[in-house]
């Protein structure tokens, strides 16, 4: 039996020399993700950019700086949350990840989610949103929280998009300002079915029952 930390370390080791998709050919460092193994909240972005590819760490460039400010505004410290991306290697010229790259890397993301078992997942941008809310439009669901299985997922705009589109900046600021309130709802709801895994499992199988907050 491995601890969450051991499993996350194991996944990071595999990611560091993974060659399961084309992106391994052009990356410098892969970026497995970082955070405390007991984090309640997991943030999932898109993929490493220039600086992340150099350092092997997620969200260390401009978008990362802004993300730190958004979290601080919600009373959260970056060091207290787990941060990763849907693809762990930089794509050439920061193009969108391709479906086969997303599929290949999703195996790692799934294992990370299982190991960390976060109560709350915050998706940053449409690629991570799509994983939990297939078919949803980010312009419609941003800032909203949904129950997905036994967790809560909050969809946010990508901080980099907000940096490039000034009109999005006030929206993403307002969405993150709602976070303390959403976290309180999630914690209360999760407390209700704590110790009742049958209920949680049943909800997982029935996405129709997704509740919106
Ligand atoms: N953008 C992302 O989606 N992820 C990072 O790690 C950095 C920028
Ligand atoms: Fe492997 Fe993911 Fe990197 Fe592709 S993006 S090489 S699947 S770690």
Mind listing the pLDDT tens digit for each residue in 32-54? 999 999 999 999 999 999 999 99
Provide the pLDDT for residue 194.
60
Any residues with Cβ below 6 Å from ligand 1, and which?
45-49, 52, 58-59, 63-64, 85, 160
Answer whether residue 159 is part of any domain.
Answer: yes
pTM: 0.91
Query: What pLDDT score does 203 carry?
Result: 45
Question: What is the pLDDT at residue 94?
Answer: 87
Looking at the CA of 29, name the nearest ligand: 2
Atom of ligand 2 at shortest range from CA of 107: 7
Compare 200 and 68 and report the one with higher pLDDT: 68
Question: Quick check: is 6 in a domain?
Answer: no
pLDDT at 176 over 90: yes
Please give the residue that has the higher pLDDT: either 194 or 187. Answer: 187
Q: Does 46 sit in the ligand 2 pocket, CB within 6 Å?
A: no
Whether residue 77 is predicted with pLDDT greater than 70 in this model: the reply is yes
Does a structural domain hold residue 48?
yes
Domain containing 169 — which CATH number?
A: 3.40.470.10
pLDDT at 47: 98
Q: Give domain status of residue 2, yes or no.
A: no
Residue 54 belongs to a domain: yes
* CB neighbour list of residue 182: distance below 8 Å, 6 or more residues apart: 145, 152, 154, 213
Query: Domain span at residue 107?
Result: 25-189
| Total structural domains within the chain | 1
8 Å CB contact between 186 and 145: yes
Residue 11's nearest CA partner among 32, 38, 29, 34 is 32
The pLDDT, as a whole number, for residue 198 is 45
* Domain assignment present for 198: no
Return mean pLDDT, the chain: 92
Residue 40 lies in a domain: yes
Residue 19 counted as domain residue: no
For residue 1, the model assigns a pLDDT of: 85
**In terms of C-beta distances under 8 Å and separation of at least 24 residues, what long-range contacts does 182-189 make, across chains too?**
182/145, 182/152, 182/154, 182/213, 183/41, 183/74, 183/120, 185/145, 185/213, 186/119, 186/120, 186/145, 186/152, 186/213, 187/119, 189/147, 189/152
Would you say 104 and 21 are in contact if contact means Cβ atoms under 8 Å apart? yes
Whether 19 has a pLDDT exceeding 70, the answer reads yes
Angle of helix 179-192 relative to helix 166-177, nearest 10 degrees? 40
Structural tokens at position 38:
């007991």
pLDDT of residue 102: 98
Q: For a substitution probing ligand 1, which of 27, 30, 47 has the most ligand atoms within 8 Å of its CB?
A: 47
Tens of pLDDT, residues 126-170: 999 999 999 999 999 999 999 999 999 999 999 999 999 999 999
Question: What is the atom index within ligand 2 of the atom nearest the CA of 24?
Answer: 6
């Amino acid at each position: 039996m491995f601890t969450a930390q051991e499993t996350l370390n194991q996944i990071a080791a595999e990611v560091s020399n993974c060659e399961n998709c084309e992106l391994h050919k052009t990356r410098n460092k892969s970026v497995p993700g970082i955070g405390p193994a007991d984090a309640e909240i997991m943030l999932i972005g898109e993929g490493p950019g220039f600086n992340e590819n150099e350092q092997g760490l997620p969200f260390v460039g401009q978008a990362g700086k802004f993300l730190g400010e958004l979290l601080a505004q919600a009373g959260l410290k970056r060091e207290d949350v787990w941060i990763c991306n849907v693809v762990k290697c930089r794509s050439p010229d920061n193009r969108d990840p391709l479906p086969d790259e997303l599929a290949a890397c999703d195996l790692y993301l799934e294992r990370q989610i299982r190991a960390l078992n976060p109560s709350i997942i915050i998706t940053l941008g449409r690629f991570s949103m799509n994983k939990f809310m297939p078919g949803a439009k980010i312009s419609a669901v941003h800032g909203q929280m949904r129950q997905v299985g036994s967790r809560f997922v909050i969809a946010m705009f990508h901080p980099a998009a907000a940096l490039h589109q000034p009109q999005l900046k006030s929206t993403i600021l307002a969405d993150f300002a709602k976070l303390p309130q959403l976290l309180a709802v999630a914690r209360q709801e999760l407390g209700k079915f704590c110790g009742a895994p049958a209920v949680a499992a049943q909800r997982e199988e029935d996405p129709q029952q997704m509740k919106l907050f």
